[in-house]
Structure 1
Amino acid sequence: MKLTDRQAFEQYAERVSSDWAKLHDGSSWVFRVPIGEWSKSKGALATFDYLRLLLEESGLTYTLKRVGSGGWNWADPSVVVQGPNHPSILYANVTADRVPDLIASLKAGKPHEELAVGTFADTPVGNIQPIAEHPFFAGQKKFLTADWGVIDPESIADYIARGGYGALKKALFEMTPDEVIEEMKTASVRGRGGAGFPAGIKWESARRSRAEPKFIAINSHEGEPNVYKDRQLIESNPHLVLEGILIACYAVGSNRGYNYVGGEHVLALERFRMAVAQAEEWGLIGENVLGSGFDVEVRARAGGGAYICGEGSALMYSVMGERGQPRTKPPRSVEEGLWRRPTMLNNTESIANAPLVIKNGGEWYASLGTEKSKGTKLFTFQGPLKRLGVVEMEMGVNLRHLIFDVYGGMKDGYTFKGVQTGGVSAGALREDQIDH
């Protein structure tokens, strides 16, 4: 299906949004099983297959969906269930052997309280409390992660049904490239890869570069041990990252974007390439996108496992098929990057914020976070904690709250001694240093 103009996109978006609303109106059962690298390692595929088998024999009217990770990795394999007289509930640790008990409980007309983490409803369901009161979820601001565990990351229809590519449409038809950049500057989105450089200023510098052609390069290498926020972002919602790339290309005057994904992130790479193929088929990538006159192509590049390729200049050499090695600066990449042409380099999480900024406005984004660090941040922890996963919190949250409240503190038998922040290149903090 190719959407040739703005009207065709709007009509399609209206139709799939209506279909989405009907699917989730509570008249039939909807089962969502988060499938990602983490949940697959814990048996989620076996849970999905057995659930499908038993549902076929159950007599229930149902829809079974594979969705992206919800971020609640500690609860996987998990199942989110919604149905008649059954508000949406998250069930945890639903291994294949527990599927029969879950189905039997639902057919009997009652939730399985033993497996339930919480309900996405505003009020309790029996003894099951609203999930918004659970420590892992209570402080989260779910904007980047709003569709995690909700949509099928391999379905462009799901993404559009939830408002996806609406920001791209707005940018193409209601804003000039300079206005897009001004919104990014107003939002004060800082780089999420470590340096914290203001994205809007970087976009503006790329826009002002006179040499042609220009390129966009996204750093999804994520080679730091035990860090997986970017990988899970792509696995759970690749179209959000792709939409950000397309908006950036339009804003800076580029017709080609690259996403450099760590080769070990197999599912993320597979899903991003699938998203690109779908966007091409739907007319959101290619010549004259939606009749706007904007031409663009996007490609994925897989890393070869070299840690150094997480550094920007080494990454660009690798994209070009050369040996990945860092170079001295100047020149900066916006002056001379890929093939010695201006190249704007952004982190995965940074670029994924662009659709949110364009959709809701820079002032909205700047209202989140702190005076100097706006918006939200994805966090991951690894170690002997009671809960592991990805959370999205406003900038300004302290480490003690994350470690001991959100992630549940140390497992029995372990004592907290310190935390290493930001991967192997950063330092360690003692317990008396984590309150800032």
Structure 2
Amino acid sequence: MQVHNPIDSQGKKLELPEHTLVYAMQAPKALSDPKQAVSDALANPIASDSFQHIAKAKLAANPQAKAVIVISDNTRPVPYKGEGNILVPLLEVLLETGYEKDNLTVLIATGTHRPMTDDEIERIIDPWVFEHKIAIVNHDCKEDDNLTYLGRTERGSEVKINSIYSKADLKILTGLVESHFMAGVSGGRKSVCPGLISEHGTFLFHGADLMGHQNSCDLLLDGNPVHEESLAFAKMAGVDFIINVTLDHAFNITGVFAGDLEVAHQKAFEMVKGYAKIPINEEADIVITHAGFVGINHYQSAKAAFAAIGALKKDGYLISIANFTDKKDVVGSVMYKTVLSILALTSAQELVTLLHSKDWPFMPDQWQVQKWASVFEKIPLDHYYYYAPQIAGEDNSGLPGIDASSLTNSTEYSEVVKKVIQHIEKREQRKDLKILYLSDGPYAIPYVG
């Protein structure tokens, strides 16, 4: 059978065995007029005064008021460009209301990710923004001189926030709401935390205890400590207005949620939760998934593997394909590689024990490896097969699992997956293995039900 493969740059279908079970979420239909929907959301937001009313009030209090619009980096397909984008309408309202161009900043919430390059920024932001010479700035979690200390959360996290944001009179968050393997869903408060915090602020927020908590998972907010800590940061930093969207498989807008930080985000969460959970009849021997748009490198591809856990039989096999678009580092940071190599050389249990040790020095990006460990608590390390053209045939000794490119000279996803399935059938000495394909990759969460 042929199925949609969203990561194939040439648009080729993925060929799978005929008996493969294919599961997909039923996302709502795309909005017929997204531009009007964005305009309506700004004028009639959720649990909030209109965006223009809020902007005018800030300007009345300070004629030189500064406004900051926080946007996501290139790991999220947020519509900041083209027809129906959510960035230009915000800026238009601010300019029409009387804000000076020099007092407007578009701030990229990179979190602990590397800064975006000029080329990357141009690819995601509408030309209108450059034509009007609006300042666009990358957040830098390590640049302490540009961070403002606001105190500590009840859990004890250091709250240092980007100073451009902290000192702004009008604070606006934008983003995408989709399932997230730590915080339940993305969007809302995540634009601030981890988007605009210090590297040190991640030590508790992304520490071993919170990462290992059973509620730090997809599509759960109640009792999720990662969500709660992120929200605590956002409340301390202050948020005047948010505009978040939901998207379909083709990245078309299916919903616009603007207004109050918590109420508007909750509405978006409820919508996503309604379709992103996928009931399956039983766990499969082999699960095939893909890293999706977010899978720009190995670090980000962890999200697809974690999302697949609910579909995997104990000691089953996971095949993950990806198209790494990060041209600077297709694996991840030095710290990520370091902790990942420990996992590859030991086991999930040994790594988690080490991360909880009082003698372990916290390393940024260890949280992503801890999520990888959750996958390998269900399947052995060598039951994971991965393939991305960008790392095929490289020295991957520090990566857990089996590089599928070692099984074939082909660079076609279909041929690679075919060879992996044959390899697994040979290992198991049977051909009646149940195979399941998760067509939404990291964005849908399968569960037996």
Name the TM-score, length of structure 2 as normaliser: 0.32
**Which one has a larger percent strand, Structure 1 or Structure 2?**
2
**Which one has a larger percent helix, Structure 1 or Structure 2?**
1
